Amino acid sequence: MQFSTAENAPTFPTVWRHKKVVKTSAPREQQFSNMATRNVHPIVRVNGIHKYFKRGSEKVDVLNDLTVSVPEGEFLGLMGPSGSGKTTLLNLIAGLDRPSSGEVWVGDNLISQMSESQLSAWRTRSIGFIFQFYHLLPVLSAYENVELPLLLLPLSKSQRREQVTTALDLVGLKDRMWHRPGQLSGGQQQRVGIARAIVTDPQLIVADEPTGDLDAKSAGEILNLLEEVRKILNKTIIMVTHDPRAAERADRVLHLDKGRLIEDIVKATTGSV
């Protein structure tokens, strides 16, 4: 990958940052130099949430009394059998759905209490999404796909251009800017997906099986890229995966089963929680 050190890493212009509702607790440089401090500031706090879905008259419990805390700058893996509630948990953290009970905090925001339109605005600025099937709009070029979330922010065309090219540069696709998704390989499409996730410079990136549809080589490249995004841009990443090799890249892996947390593996190298 092209950015090996923090010095030559791209920085986002982040022109709208001063308007953001969420304040970061420490200056950026300090976060870069002192990764250990991240443990002190959990960016995601999930407190005793329950989530059930109604299927006809029947209530299906998906998450049961779940409590999770994710420190700022952490790369968290979520594993578990199919149907265990991983996507559901991710949706709750990312503000795509609301818990039946319990609280979800992201930064200083109690997102489990926000209205749908508040959540929409909040998601644009605060969350980057990466999907298993990329979910790029087929009619738009890579550039336009990455630009999409920026259309929702008060940015001029040239400000948007700056952000988009920075993001595409970071994922190494600047030369494919005007290709449509259909003209890109799976791995390349996922990189566009990553560029779209980071282009608004969110605090938190959530990824639902980002390598699930890729061959081993492309998957490895995507994981490298995610690690870089985490290191260079100091993002917090929560990634759902079925792939043990992907999980290996995470600082910490949570195992879900039938809506409960059964294991919390913390790797020795990244310190304790």
Ligand X SMILES: Nc1ncnc2c1ncn2[C@@H]1O[C@H](COP(=O)(O)OP(=O)(O)OP(=O)(O)O)[C@@H](O)[C@H]1O
Whose Cβ is closer to ligand X: residue 47's or residue 64's? 64
Q: Which stretch binds Mg ion (CB under 5 A): 86-94, 97-105, 125-133, 193-201?
A: 86-94
- Find out whether 78 and 257 touch, Cβ atoms under 8 Å: no
Closer to another protein by Cβ: residue 117 or 158: 117
Binding status of residue 124 toward another protein by CB under 8 A? yes
Angstrom distances, CA of residue 196 to CA of 31, 140, 263: 23, 13, 32
In this structure, are residues 235 and 202 in contact, taking their beta carbons and an 8 Å threshold?
A: yes
Residue type at 4?
S
Q: Does 132 bind another protein (CB under 8 A)?
A: yes
Closest distance of CB 231 from Mg ion, Å? 26
Residues 39-78 that bind another protein (CB under 8 A): none
Number of residues that make up the chain: 273
Contact string (CB under 6 A) for ligand X, positions 29-68, x = contact: ------------------------x-x----x-x------
Residues between 184 and 243 that touch ligand X (CB under 6 A): none
DSSP 210: T
Closest to 271 in 3D by CA, of 69, 77, 67, 38:
38
Q: Which two tokens stand for residue 30?
A: 């300090």
Burial class (CB in 10 A: 0-12, 13-18, 19+), 197: buried
Token representation of residue 157: 């065309």
With binding defined as CB under 6 A, does residue 83 bind ligand X? yes
Give me the residue label for tokens 């605090």: 203
Contact with Mg ion (CB under 5 A): which of 70, 84, 87, 149?
Answer: 87
The strand pairing partners of 52, in sequence order, are: 61
Shortest Å distance, C-beta 179 to another protein: 15
Site mask for ligand X (CB under 6 A), range 86-125, x = bound: xxx-------------------------------------
Rounded Cα gap, residues 130 and 196, in angstroms: 8
Applying CB under 8 A, which residues contact another protein?
Answer: 87-88, 91, 94, 96-97, 116-117, 120-125, 129, 131-133, 135, 137-140, 144, 148-149, 151-152, 196, 208-209, 240
